[in-house]
Amino acid sequence: MLLIFDDCVLDLARRELSRASRTVATAPQVFDLLVHLVRNRERVVSRDDLLDAIWAGRVVSESTLASHINAVRKAVGDDGQRQRVIRTVARKGFRFIATVQEIPAEAAPAPTPIEPAPMPALPANPSIAVLPFLNLSGDPAQDYLVDGVVEDIIAALSRYRWLFVVARNSSFTYKARMVDVKQVGRELGVRYVLEGSWRKADNRVRITG
pLDDT of residue 114: 55
Angle, CA of 97, 102 and 106, to the nearest 5°: 140
**Is the distance from CB of 81 to CB of 147 less than 8 angstroms?**
no
Q: For residue 199, what are the β-bridge partners?
A: 206
- pTM for the predicted model, two decimal places: 0.52
Pick the closest to residue 89 from 41, 137, 44 (CA basis): 44
According to the model, what pLDDT value does residue 13 have?
87
Report the pLDDT value the prediction gives residue 151, as an integer from 0 to 100: 92
Residue 37 has what pLDDT? Answer: 95
What ranges in the chain are assigned the alpha helix state H? 28-39, 47-55, 62-75, 143-157, 168-171, 181-188
Q: What Å distances lie between residue 2 and 43, 78, 170, CA to CA?
A: 21, 20, 34
Q: Is residue 46 a contact partner of residue 92, using CB atoms and an 8 Å limit?
A: yes
At residue 203, the pLDDT reads 84
Give the pLDDT means over successive 10-residue stretches in the chain (209 positions). 88 88 86 93 92 83 84 88 89 92 67 58 79 83 86 92 87 79 84 89 86
- Tell me, what's the pLDDT at 27? 85
Enumerate the domain spans of the chain.
2-107, 127-208
What architecture (CATH level 2) is domain 2-107? Orthogonal Bundle (1.10)
The confidence score (pLDDT) of residue 34 equals 93
The DSSP output letter for 106 is G
Backbone angles phi, psi at 159, to 5 degrees: -70, -20
Decide if 48 contacts 57 (C-beta within 8 A). no
